[in-house]
A = this chain, B = another copy of it.
Amino acid sequence: MAEVATARRSRITPEREAELYGAVLDLLREVGYDALTMDAVAARTRSSKATLYRQWGGKAELVVKAIRHNKPGQVTDIDTGSLRGDLHALLTREDDCTMEQNSALLRGVAMALHRNPDLRQALREQLIEPETAEFRRVLQRAVDRGEIRPDCPALDFLLHMMVGGFATTVLLDEQPPTRAFLASYIDAVILPALGVPAP
């Protein structure tokens, strides 16, 4: 929604926007967040720096918007009729290869968080909070169906449970988790914590 509004206001076509985000992600993979400059983005995309700043405000916002644009579909597009179905369907959005590319990207950004409060803020506002809100809708549907008790305390910790499933293998093995691993983790940890029986 926000992207569409911005694109309309400034008459950047969605194709041009996608191309620009792709170039930002390429640069991010090549040089990492700290070494990425707005000059390099401008040169790579044949834009003026003034346009980039006017459109995105700064490097942190541009990078986070590019990551968000790269994510496959909306969480709330998924509605299988059961919480387990929804969580497992989320996994099939990305194959293991995409997951590996994205994991490397996100690890680079995670490393830069400590030194860059503006990146932390952009990540929280533009990516984590919207995604968390989408997950809350998935969970709310499960509450409405009677799968999760409305006062289930684990409802407040979905983000933490998911970070645990992702970040541990990335940190310790330099490997993103496979889909098979995440499917086991959903069944062994997330569903039981939410009081939903797993098969």
Contact A189-B120, Cβ < 8 Å, known A113-B171, A171-B113:
no
For window 167-188 of A, CB contacts with B under 8 Å fall at 167-168, 171-172, 174, 184-185, 187-188
User: How many monomers of this protein are in the complex?
Assistant: 2
Q: Are A161 and B174 in contact (CB under 8 A)?
A: no
A193 and B113 CA atoms in complex are apart in Å by: 30
For window 109-149 of A, CB contacts with B under 8 Å fall at 110-111, 113-114, 120, 123-124, 128
Q: Are A195 and B193 in contact (CB under 8 A)?
A: no
Q: Which residues of B contact A124 (CB under 8 A)?
A: 172
B153, B174, B184, B188: the one within 8 Å of A184 (CB): B153
Contact A189-B161, Cβ < 8 Å, known A111-B114, A114-B107, A184-B153:
yes
Q: Are B110 and A188 in contact (CB under 8 A)?
A: no
A171 and B113 CA atoms in complex are apart in Å by: 7
Chain B, Cβ-Cβ closest to A190: B193
Q: Which residues of B contact A154 (CB under 8 A)?
A: 188-189, 192
Contact A189-B172, Cβ < 8 Å, known A111-B111, A111-B114:
no
24 pairs across A/B with beta carbons < 8 Å? A114-B174, A120-B172, A123-B172, A124-B172, A128-B172, A153-B184, A153-B198, A156-B184, A156-B188, A157-B165, A157-B188, A157-B189, A159-B168, A160-B164, A160-B185, A160-B189, A161-B161, A161-B164, A163-B164, A163-B168, A167-B171, A192-B192, A192-B193, A193-B193
- A interface with B by C-beta (< 8 Å): 107, 110-111, 113-114, 120, 123-124, 128, 153-154, 156-157, 159-165, 167-168, 171-172, 174, 184-185, 187-190, 192-193, 195, 198
